[in-house]
Amino acid sequence: MIDPKHIEAFAQIVGKENVYSDKAHLIAYSYDATRTRYEPDAVLFPRNEDDVSRILRYCDTNHIIITPRGAGSGFTGGALPANGGIILGMEKHMNQILEIDLQNMVAVVQPGVINMDLQKAVEAVGLFYPPDPASQEYSSLGGNVSENAGGMRAAKYGITKDYVMALRAVRPNGEIIRAGKRTIKDVAGYNTAGILIASEGTLAVITEITLKLLPKPKFTKAYMGIFPSVEHAMNAVFKSLAAGANPVAMEFLDSLVVHALKVKLGVDLPEDAGALLIGDVDGNVTEEVAFQLEILERAFKANGATDFHIAHDSDERNKLWFARRNASPSITIYGSKKLNEDISVPRSKLPEALNRIYAIGAKYGFKVPCFGHAGDGNIHVNVMVDGSNPKELEDGHKAIEEIFRLVVEMGGTLSGEHGIGTSKAPFMHIAFTEAEIGLFRDIKRAFDPNNILNPGKMGLPA
Amino acid sequence: MIDPKHIEAFAQIVGKENVYSDKAHLIAYSYDATRTRYEPDAVLFPRNEDDVSRILRYCDTNHIIITPRGAGSGFTGGALPANGGIILGMEKHMNQILEIDLQNMVAVVQPGVINMDLQKAVEAVGLFYPPDPASQEYSSLGGNVSENAGGMRAAKYGITKDYVMALRAVRPNGEIIRAGKRTIKDVAGYNTAGILIASEGTLAVITEITLKLLPKPKFTKAYMGIFPSVEHAMNAVFKSLAAGANPVAMEFLDSLVVHALKVKLGVDLPEDAGALLIGDVDGNVTEEVAFQLEILERAFKANGATDFHIAHDSDERNKLWFARRNASPSITIYGSKKLNEDISVPRSKLPEALNRIYAIGAKYGFKVPCFGHAGDGNIHVNVMVDGSNPKELEDGHKAIEEIFRLVVEMGGTLSGEHGIGTSKAPFMHIAFTEAEIGLFRDIKRAFDPNNILNPGKMGLPA
């Protein structure tokens, strides 16, 4: 329980109507997409950057823990108040698109803006914001920056960090920091925006984001390749890219996912497909689209594709993408609880990585349906267990740890796009040396000497 | 003078043949492209990462200052031993391309590799490393990363930081840090690679760089637009980009540069040109190249271009680029000393920025020929003075400070690609608040508590 005098002080700063410590609010702000729960002591809705600064300064002085929160849709607990304290909620007031600058092709947004709202706003004026995490309909751009969100289009267009031109942020001591500029080149001073991206709200509270926009490509076509095995499909991925293909997306579904889509949703897919690759190519001229599709078709067929299908209209394209979009909901046929991890390995290691992951699953008797962003090496690995069976849960977590060790051994990372938060924190020692974790601690201390900002995340001290 | 016992200790670590403290070496390693001189106390050539680690640990313990150095071609003194100590020279041993990984399209290099050597090596296998600073023939990739080098192709392809996938680096205490992975997505732990880029050797010594490569586009064509005034050309820049053009390069020459090229080098250009835009477009199909040229031609002509010229063969292309490449050497006709700065502003501010820069020059009676990377907003501004006239030099520096203030007021940066080093350090307070500079100091202290790595750069404590 927080001292009522602090609640009073917060009300002085942001107004009574923006401070909540009733049970309903504490519960509402206790969870995210991990389904783990940690109750905060209070929930504050700052109205502007000045509120953020004053709240932080107060909390720093009084050693009150703060967890910044966008939409609370994270998969690893980044926005959970794992050590209590207050939630700084950005969705209520700090949710405005401040500017779409057509001349310099940038958007300036507050952290609470929903990803899709920005995408729609810029597409309405002929521009394009590529990062499209699966959560794009409900995740916030502040969260996207804090976790360095990826998405389907990363194969061609990169991830959130590739679009962040500038940030405004508040340090725990209340100081306002501008990092970066509305210019493509800026090499004056340390790249503080670079370290704030993916820092999971542990270093500073982001209050404004300037994002790079692109011209919207004029033509897009979807494709699907059907392969006899995961190995064939994965070879086709890196061989087509090495041959010069530059697809917007190159998404992978394994045979378990294909089966689940047929059984659960009646999706019309070949029963004997060992793996599918589904994606888009784009271009400003139809010849570029054709050029891309030709490279893909050639490389897919040279690597055993039994079919290469091009969607010729938007209905056909929606049908292909329906399969990909429903991969995650369909696989619940394999177990009531899904232990899902978003590992990433160098693309050439995908065939071996997946085969070894299936072998780990088989050892414990689990189905491990896999799907995801093969074009950039980032695969969602789902160990399906019976959530009501403690032994299965325990084994499932053992399998996950084995998978992490394997991925790290193959030059991969614990997380391609979900982050570390609370849920992967126990595995940090697998991926990083003592020296590397020591550096993370030193960086954290430099930004936040009193450790009030989201402590205990990413394996950092609680 | 350094204590001879330290020289002995260094010889124990790297071998006698890699330690130099004779006057010839101290002079040879006392300068860079700024033409300012600071003599080191010794020059060491580490053979490998382990040498770097042991040297750093020794220096940290004994409080000996270290300045890492690649090719010493920097424009702002980043590699100068401004406070004495030792130079850690990467060009002698740590200069190997370790791997070109065709399957994952990455190159792994040591910091001493010359930019152009990597470009040639990857182009020989059909790949492409876009960052092309003007120094590409002689600058090292370690230096490119440490300064976050830009180049002509930044308009379409971005800058060095957009290609750094992973780094290995050594902290002053000798600890080896891996930052990033050979994967497109990696969000585990802080983005330490992000903060090492552009840190000018002040945080850690980079020992290995993993760079992203692209497929080499199949077709390239050069274009030139001739405009009656700088204002017309600059409007054409941001209006063509906003119309969807995505040129590889869009380089600007003003009328002073055009005049100098004609007078000094006899380049065949129209005498009455108020400004030129020269650049390349590329694509995998000729239709994409034609699409880009069409947008440019339309936007250029709508903004007053008197001519739009396409180079139809490589001879014509070389002729266009000859003018751009010789901009810098030709302008010496305006003064024996060039005070050159590489400011960057949001592209839409270019017309106003340049007019106000010329006005500052006129106030002091200086010619200020300008050229550079208009496509990304980064312009090289050259205040030409008589280097033998102390009053002119003093006025020139006043003009430079006025230009910096103007640029910052317009949302721009002190440096688009050259960095801060020693030469722009006095201007940091113009661009950054006390709080921001305080954060830089805190970051520096976190990485390098004893302040042995390249102290005094970027406005940080000496």
Quote the mean pLDDT of chain A: 96
**Residue of A189, A414, A458 with shortest CB distance to B458:** A189
Q: Is B237 on the interface with A (CB under 8 A)?
A: no
State yes or no: pLDDT of A323 exceeds 90: yes
Q: Is A171 on the interface with B (CB under 8 A)?
A: yes
Rounded distance, CA A171 to CA A178, Å? 11
**How distant is the Cα of B411 from the closest Cα of chain A, in angstroms?**
7
Rounded distance, CA B90 to CA A342, Å? 38
- Give A-chain residues touching B178 at CB under 8 angstroms: 433, 436
Extents of the domains making up chain B: 1-216, 219-328, 335-430
Residue type, A78: G
**Residue of B148, B176, B246 with shortest CB distance to A187:** B148
Q: Is B428 on the interface with A (CB under 8 A)?
A: yes
Q: What would the mean pLDDT of A439-447 be, rounded to a whole number?
A: 98
State yes or no: pLDDT of B179 exceeds 90: yes
Q: What percent of chain A has pLDDT over 70?
A: 100
State yes or no: pLDDT of A167 exceeds 90: yes
State yes or no: pLDDT of B184 exceeds 90: no
Q: What would the mean pLDDT of A33-50 be, rounded to a whole number?
A: 95
Q: Please report, to the nearest 10 degrees, the dihedral formed by the alpha carbons of residues A243, A244, A248, A251 taken in order.
A: 10
Quote the mean pLDDT of chain B: 96
**Residue of B103, B147, B435 with shortest CB distance to A242:** B103
Q: Do domains B219-328 and B335-430 have the same CATH topology?
A: yes
State yes or no: pLDDT of A272 exceeds 90: no
User: Are the beta carbons of A194 and B190 separated by less than 8 Å?
Assistant: no
Q: Which fold has domain B219-328?
A: Alpha-Beta Plaits (3.30.70)
Rounded distance, CA A87 to CA A70, Å? 10
**Residue of A148, A243, A436 with shortest CB distance to B178:** A436
Rounded distance, CA A249 to CA A88, Å? 35
Q: Is the pTM of this model over 0.95?
A: yes
State yes or no: pLDDT of A35 exceeds 90: no
ipTM, two decimals: 0.96
Q: Would you place residue A184 in the very low, low, confident or very high pLDDT band (cuts 50, 70, 90)?
A: confident
> Which stretches does DSSP call E strand in A228-274?
249-254
Residues B103-129: pLDDT tens digits? 899 999 999 999 999 999 999 999 999
Q: What percent of chain A has pLDDT over 90?
A: 95
State yes or no: pLDDT of A242 exceeds 90: no
pLDDT (0 to 100) of residue A258? 96
If you count residue pairs, one on A and one on B, with CB atoms under 8 Å apart, how many are there? Answer: 292
Residues B379-397: pLDDT tens digits? 999 999 999 999 999 999 9
Q: Would you place residue A460 in the very low, low, confident or very high pLDDT band (cuts 50, 70, 90)?
A: very high
Q: What would the mean pLDDT of B240-248 be, rounded to a whole number?
A: 93
Q: What would the mean pLDDT of B193-218 be, rounded to a whole number?
A: 96
pLDDT (0 to 100) of residue B242? 86
List CB contacts of A401: < 8 A, sequence separation 6 or more. Answer: A427, A430
Rounded distance, CA A97 to CA A208, Å? 10
Q: Is A148 on the interface with B (CB under 8 A)?
A: yes
Domain B335-430 is found in CATH 3.30.70.2740: yes
pLDDT (0 to 100) of residue A297? 98
pLDDT (0 to 100) of residue B272? 86
Q: What does each C-alpha distance from B10 to A146, B52, B103, B170, B459 come to in angstroms?
A: 43, 11, 40, 17, 29
State yes or no: pLDDT of B270 exceeds 90: no
Q: What would the mean pLDDT of A261-272 be, rounded to a whole number?
A: 92
Residue A104 · residue B347 · CB < 8 Å: yes
Query: What are the tokens at B236?
Result: 């054409």
pLDDT (0 to 100) of residue A271? 80
Q: What would the mean pLDDT of A300-326 be, rounded to a whole number?
A: 95
- Give A-chain residues touching B419 at CB under 8 angstroms: 187-188
Provide the residue count of chain A: 462
List, in sequence order, every residue forming a beta bridge with B277; answer none if it has no partner.
B225, B252
- Cβ-in-10-Å burial (0-12, 13-18, 19+) of A305 comes to buried
Q: What architecture is domain A1-216?
A: 2-Layer Sandwich (3.30)
List CB contacts of A39: < 8 A, sequence separation 6 or more. Answer: A26, A27, A30, A81, A84
Which residue has better confidence, B184 or A81? Answer: A81
Select from A177, A187, A241 the residue whose CB has the most chain B CBs within 10 Å, as the one to mutate to test that interface.
A187
Residues A103-112: pLDDT tens digits? 899 999 999 9
- Give A-chain residues touching B440 at CB under 8 angstroms: 189-190, 192
pLDDT (0 to 100) of residue B396? 96
pLDDT (0 to 100) of residue A238? 87
- Give B-chain residues touching A208 at CB under 8 angstroms: none
Q: What would the mean pLDDT of A231-249 be, rounded to a whole number?
A: 93
Rounded distance, CA B277 to CA B227, Å? 8
State yes or no: pLDDT of A270 exceeds 90: no
